[in-house]
Structure 1
Amino acid sequence: MFLWFAFAVFVACHLAAVGRAKWLYWLSKPAAILALVFITLTQTEAPGSYQWPITIALLLCVVGDLFLMWSRTRIGLGFFSLAHLCCCMAFWSEIGSPIVWWLPALFYAAGTLVYLLMLPNLHKMAWPGLLYTVSGVSMAWIASEVGLEAVTLVSGLASVAACLFLFSAFLFALEQFRGGFSHARSWVLLTYFSAQSLLTASVVVY
């Protein structure tokens, strides 16, 4: 419970520090995700095939966050793409029946449309953006596949987490490459932290 409380405190500090205390902004975001890492390491009975990919994904997100805050967007997106792929591994380990093929078709069609709409604004970010899109869509698809296969608390948390993670990525892209929108940074952060906390919760309740 202490680690969840610490996560909430770090999230609140990070949101409060946006545009104000730079040192707190830099410190609080990785600290929040590291609190979730410790939760996945200490508060679960999930099998290693699920626990470890999620834990590694969270650690990759910490590194990706630091590069994004350091304005090294291409490197940051690379680490987040790797985090998406780790989540894919975790979710894939939960699939035990044949794939429902209309689901990936739906996700990849939507992902392709969004990417093509963003493409004129990406410039040098076109290839990193493509990798980020493919990995993120794959993560959301496989998690949703697990959710369709077996309606459980774990699959529900994982599905919502993955879709929120992808939605946060979409909002981030709008903020970075399409001029942003009202309270963009707050929405990106809220969806991002919500996704990470639900992803962690899926490990805890396994």
Structure 2
Amino acid sequence: MSKWSFVIPLIVLGPLVGACASASAKTVPAERPALVVPPPPPRVVETAPAPDPVPEPVADLPPPPAPIKPARPSRETTSRQQTVTPAEPKTGETVNPEPTPPPAAPAPPQPPLQLRTPQTADSTEAERAIRATMDRANSSLGAVNFNRLSNERKKAYNDAKLYLQQAEDALKQGNFVYGQNIANKAETLARELAGK
């Protein structure tokens, strides 16, 4: 049996080794026409457009004209009017001269009007709306137990508090649009934290 255990593998391996030696087929490459590559197109270089002519420097603008004040009547014209106006009193009558009214003081200049966006035309209404949003955010934050929050939610809680402070500062400065936006952010965070 030891002889057969040696011979059987040789018999099986013999044809396999022979097949490997003769299995390599040699193929002749097919004749193919040469690849014709077209020449590259000519390079077209556009000329840069002519730069715009440099504008000539303009002299400084003259200062704005000073506001024209109403002209005061000169002393000569007032004295002429006074000399012509009095009538000669009759003997026995006393004439009380009419007191001349003091010249009207020029009206103080009006402070410039503050421009407002359509959203904040009524400042009291805008402030009331922002305060209502801030109150809702504060009540939502009041319902949240800070100690039970995860670190990420604690950061969101602190951000909501910061937004409320920024909204308060914006109200003090009269920036109602920014105040409303930041109060809305605070309210959104507070609602998410409260689970509403």
TM-score, normalised to structure 2, is 0.29
Give the number of the structure with larger relative contact order, counting CA–CA contacts within 8 Å between residues 6 or more apart.
1
TM-score, normalised to structure 1, is 0.28
Structure having the higher helix fraction is 1
Question: Higher Cα Rg: structure 1 or 2?
Answer: 2
